[in-house]
Amino acid sequence: MPVSDADMVKAWTQVLTLSNLKPGDIVTVLTTEGVTHPQTLRTAMTAAGLLGATVNRLDLSPVNGEKSLSRDTLAYLGTTPLTGNRAAIAALKASDLVLDLMTLLFSPEQHDILQGGGKILLAVEPPEILLRMVPTEADRQRVKASAALLEGAKSMRITSEAGTDLTCPLGEFPVVKEYGFVDEPGRWDHWPSGFALTWPNEGGTEGRIVVDKGDILLPMKSYVNGRIVMEVRGGYVRSITGGMDADLLNDYMESFNDPEAYAMSHIGWGMQDRARWSTLGLYDREATIGMDARAFAGNFLFSLGPNNEVGGSRTTACHMDIPLRRCTVTVDGKEVVVAGKVVEEAMAVLA
């Protein structure tokens, strides 16, 4: 359903207010030529201006079109339109807040901006998805409670009736909280979102992952029609077997010609009640990056590929996000998700 500019300006005003935007702050809106949604852009600039910020737009040309097999901005990582662009990087580092309508994820330039104390908010979903999942203070509290279960934890185990049985040792990497706004210096977040995640210790994940019918592959943005079985040893997926879906996944990942593409990356669970598993089938694949799938409450979301987002050295261009339904997740023996349902009592204790 289309949304009005007035509603989008209200939504941006809420997000920017939660992000502690002040009169006189410098906001730079980072966009990609011919890709950024025009309504998201104009309403972001309007809202920031109405709040008294000095607003700039930095529009850059897309890259990697000849390398990626998909138009999805998360389908090929590494170089970005900022790579080697000293003038653009200087402008972003001089900004109090960067509204990323382009997608800088997993890039060294993003780290450079954040280390200088700047804030970055990513927002690339269509306006109607942004409006449905405008972040709130309650979202922040839920995600903080979820993250508190991971901070200091030593192990996560994931099981399912489909056959998943995976053990991930924890502790080497920080916990990332995604609740949709940037309220602290040096913070990155993503609107819309609603989950906590971390990375398992390098080389330590062991077991089996069964991607069952109805689970989702990203960036394919497709529901799986048949089981995919992944055997994990020493922190890497060593085999991917099954039917047609497994063949498609194998072919896609093989195209990167990079063994690091098969490494376990981030793990966590969704906490966003306004995100729905079913919505992926309602959108054109090129209209969304699939944040509903990543954030719906009770999913177990695991990733394959890079870890440089949290200080690791792995920078493979391949990044797979795979949200699973109906899993049970335990952290240091404590159940936090049971058969795809968040254990609210576990969150409430820490909220």
Sign for the pseudo-dihedral over CA of 80, 81, 86, 87: negative
**Whether 315 contacts 106, CB under 8 Å:** yes
Residue 71 — pLDDT band, cuts 50, 70, 90? confident
77 lies in the same domain as 163: no
Average pLDDT for 58-82: 79
Q: Is residue 187 part of a domain?
A: no
* Enclosing H/E stretch for 196: strand 195-198
Alpha-carbon distances, residue 226 vs 119, 244, 321, 328 (angstroms): 41, 8, 18, 20
The answer on pLDDT for 301 being more than 80 is yes
Tell me the per-residue pLDDT of 159-173, one tens digit each, with 9 for 90 and over.
999 999 999 999 999
Q: What percent of the chain has pLDDT over 70?
A: 98
111 lies in the same domain as 152: no
246 lies in the same domain as 315: yes
Tell me the per-residue pLDDT of 333-347, one tens digit each, with 9 for 90 and over.
999 999 999 999 888
How many structural domains does the chain have?
2
pLDDT score of 260: 96
**Whether 266 contacts 197, CB under 8 Å:** yes
Alpha-carbon distances, residue 11 vs 52, 99, 172, 221, 310 (angstroms): 16, 14, 37, 26, 29
The answer on pLDDT for 205 being more than 90 is yes
Q: Is residue 189 part of a domain?
A: no
Token digits for 80?
């970005």
- Pairing state of beta strands 264-270 and 300-304? antiparallel
Global pTM reads: 0.95
Tell me the per-residue pLDDT of 209-264, one tens digit each, with 9 for 90 and over.
999 999 999 999 999 999 999 999 999 999 999 999 999 999 999 999 999 999 99
Give the separation between CA 62 and CA 19, rounded to whole angstroms: 28
116 lies in the same domain as 258: no
The alpha-carbon radius of gyration of the chain (Å, integer) is: 19
Tell me the per-residue pLDDT of 8-18, one tens digit each, with 9 for 90 and over.
999 999 999 99
pLDDT score of 229: 98
First to last CA, the chain: 34
Alpha-carbon distances, residue 104 vs 86, 146, 172, 290, 336 (angstroms): 15, 25, 24, 17, 31
209 lies in the same domain as 266: yes
Residue 266 backbone phi and psi in degrees, to 5: -70, 155
Tell me the per-residue pLDDT of 96-153, one tens digit each, with 9 for 90 and over.
999 999 988 777 888 889 999 999 999 999 999 999 999 999 999 999 999 999 999 9
pLDDT score of 30: 97
pLDDT score of 295: 98
Which single residue is written with the structure tokens 């997740």? Answer: 329
Estimate to the nearest angstrom the gap between the alpha carbon of 304 and the chain centroid: 13
The answer on pLDDT for 36 being more than 90 is yes
Instruction: List the CATH number of the domain containing 10.
Output: 3.40.50.2300
216 lies in the same domain as 342: yes
219 lies in the same domain as 317: yes
Q: Is residue 185 part of a domain?
A: no
pLDDT score of 349: 53
115 lies in the same domain as 216: no
Q: Is residue 188 part of a domain?
A: no
